[in-house]
Amino acid sequence: MFSIRCRSPLWVRRGLRDTLTLFNLSLYPTFPTNSFPITYNMFGKFFSIRSNDIGIDLGTANTLVNVKDHGIVLREPSVVAINSGTNEVLAVGDDAKRMLGRTPGNIVAIRPLRDGVIADFEVTEAMLRHFIRKVNNGRRRSNPRVVIAVPSGITEVERRAVRESAEQAGAREVYLIEEPMAAAIGVGLPVQDAAGNMIVDIGGGTTEVALISLSGIVYSRSVRTAGDELDEAITQYMKRAYNLMIGERTAEDIKIRLGSAAPLPKETSMEVKGRDLVAGLPKTITITSQEIRDAMSDPLNTIVDAVRTTLERCPPELAADLVDRGIVLAGGGALLRGLDKLLREETGLPVHVAEDPLSAVAEGTGKVLQEISFLRRVTNTEAKH
């Protein structure tokens, strides 16, 4: 068996140690490896991950993690399953989401963020710690520098809660960047130019509308109406129209399969299963895309009003820029069919859907990590050591 005893720098010793471990494995298949981690790309991923620069899109529905020089390496639901008796975390992310609405009495699946802000501090901290360790290959003593995207309309108390959650999860420095700025950077808008750029980021908990110029937000409006509110509107419609109770996942599936913001060339339908509120028994009904569009009209009008309000506050010079540049849609809500058409009709401006709207904010956090001076310009909070 090989061993290492030398006075070389720590990173050299660890690299050699992993090399010899792999060599030992070829000689001794039963060689114990649980004493230290081995990465599958030892000299690439292992060392660059140690740069400890991480960007996080801490969303109400999903959390995305962008590691510097590696891009987005994690994309999981913002859900945590805990044992209500012991407060033990049982599952995080995809595994926990599969438990929503299906857990026994002693297990609770929790969404620790609501309307874009932290609703449960301790569970959010546990979730962040889990994701940070996961992208760092399970190493517990990892103290990364972290950039977190937050809604532009949150209070200072809510900002402090996000910052403290990240610090308690092990971050050595924490920067907060407003979501619309991160989204604009992520989709490639020239935010440093002396020209107007308009971004509409529709997430799970909030819709962020912002005018950006010269690396700053000229005006922004944040409304707590977004994907979750559309799901809730569908749930309430099913109760009113059919006396049918459906779960969160079913409502989201209906939105994805039938949802639209404008009339479709061909209306579609689907079967929906739930519980009859009168008989108390399982029931199956058929609904149409037009029904779902009507059900979502109120939250969609709220989003349109937020865009209108922002345009009304736009300085004349920037308004002239928007006539040519138009509006860019990002976030999961941008995938709703016909939303670009609806906004085009309501504003008279060109409307473009980002190439990868779900990743826009996370891509933006990754880009600002590349240059610390730019990071400090576009973040509105000092690093916390």
Domain range for 33 is: 10-38
Do 204 and 157 lie in a common domain? no
User: Could you tell me the CATH number of the domain that includes residue 155?
Assistant: 3.30.420.40
Q: Which of 64, 99, 107 is nearest to 79 (CA)?
A: 99
255 marked as binding residue = yes
19 marked as binding residue = no
pLDDT at residue 3, as a whole number: 39
Q: Which of 361, 347, 353, 306 is nearest to 334 (CA)?
A: 353
pLDDT at residue 49, as a whole number: 43
Q: Which of 64, 81, 82 is nearest to 73 (CA)?
A: 64
206 marked as binding residue = yes
Do 254 and 348 lie in a common domain? yes
CA dihedral of 67, 68, 71, 77, whole degrees rounded to 10 = 20
User: Is residue 44 a part of any domain in this protein?
Assistant: no
61 marked as binding residue = yes
Q: Which of 33, 49, 38 is nearest to 15 (CA)?
A: 38
Do 248 and 117 lie in a common domain? no
Distances 318 to 106, 296, 306 between C-alpha atoms, Å? 55, 32, 18
- Could you give the CA distance from residue 201 to residue 181 in angstroms, rounded to a whole number? 10
Q: Which two tokens stand for residue 219?
A: 């005006």
pLDDT at residue 383, as a whole number: 41
Supply the DSSP symbol for 202.
E
Q: Which of 259, 331, 250 is nearest to 300 (CA)?
A: 259
CB 31 within 8 A of CB 21: yes
60 marked as binding residue = yes
Q: Which of 30, 29, 31 is nearest to 3 (CA)?
A: 31
- Could you give the CA distance from residue 27 to residue 11 in angstroms, rounded to a whole number? 25
253 marked as binding residue = yes
pLDDT at residue 142, as a whole number: 65
Number of CB atoms found within 10 A of residue 248's CB = 16
Do 58 and 113 lie in a common domain? yes
- Could you give the CA distance from residue 53 to residue 182 in angstroms, rounded to a whole number? 16
Which string of b and e fits 328-362 if b means at least 16 CB within 10 Å? bbbbbbbbbebbbebbbeebebebebbeebbbbbb
| Terminal alpha carbon distance of the chain | 42
pLDDT at residue 29, as a whole number: 40
287 marked as binding residue = no
User: Is residue 283 a part of any domain in this protein?
Assistant: yes
62 marked as binding residue = yes
DSSP-assigned beta bridge partners for residue 62: 77
CB 67 within 8 A of CB 54: yes
- Could you give the CA distance from residue 171 to residue 237 in angstroms, rounded to a whole number? 43
pLDDT at residue 333, as a whole number: 96
User: Is residue 304 a part of any domain in this protein?
Assistant: yes
Do 264 and 342 lie in a common domain? yes
Do 334 and 374 lie in a common domain? no
User: Is residue 384 a part of any domain in this protein?
Assistant: no
Do 169 and 275 lie in a common domain? no
- Could you give the CA distance from residue 47 to residue 245 in angstroms, rounded to a whole number? 51
- Could you give the CA distance from residue 17 to residue 330 in angstroms, rounded to a whole number? 45
* DSSP helix/strand/coil, 185: helix
pLDDT at residue 27, as a whole number: 39
Do 126 and 214 lie in a common domain? no
DSSP string, 223-265: ES-SHHHHHHHHHHHHHHHH-EE--HHHHHHHHHHH-BSS--S
Do 240 and 336 lie in a common domain? yes
Do 369 and 341 lie in a common domain? no
Do 212 and 298 lie in a common domain? yes
335-370: per-residue pLDDT in tens? 999 999 999 999 999 999 999 999 999 999 999 988
DSSP string, 106-149: TEEEE--EETTEES-HHHHHHHHHHHHHHHTTT-SS---EEEEE
User: Is residue 110 a part of any domain in this protein?
Assistant: yes
pTM confidence score? 0.81
205 marked as binding residue = yes
170 marked as binding residue = no
pLDDT at residue 48, as a whole number: 40
Number of CB atoms found within 10 A of residue 312's CB = 9
Q: Which two tokens stand for residue 205?
A: 């908990």
User: Is residue 145 a part of any domain in this protein?
Assistant: yes
User: Is residue 246 a part of any domain in this protein?
Assistant: yes
101 marked as binding residue = no
User: Is residue 342 a part of any domain in this protein?
Assistant: yes
Total number of domains constituting the chain? 3
pLDDT 10s digit of each residue in the chain, 385 long?
Answer: 333 334 444 443 444 444 434 434 343 343 333 333 323 333 333 334 444 789 999 999 999 999 988 999 999 999 999 988 888 899 999 989 888 777 787 888 889 998 888 888 889 888 988 898 888 776 655 678 899 999 888 889 988 988 988 888 888 889 999 999 999 999 999 999 999 999 999 999 999 999 999 989 999 999 999 999 999 999 999 999 999 999 989 999 999 999 999 999 999 999 999 999 999 999 999 999 999 999 999 999 999 999 999 999 999 999 999 999 999 999 999 999 999 999 999 999 999 999 999 999 999 999 998 876 777 777 654 444 3
Do 242 and 285 lie in a common domain? yes
| DSSP E strands, 241-343 | 244-245, 269-276, 282-288, 327-330
335 marked as binding residue = yes
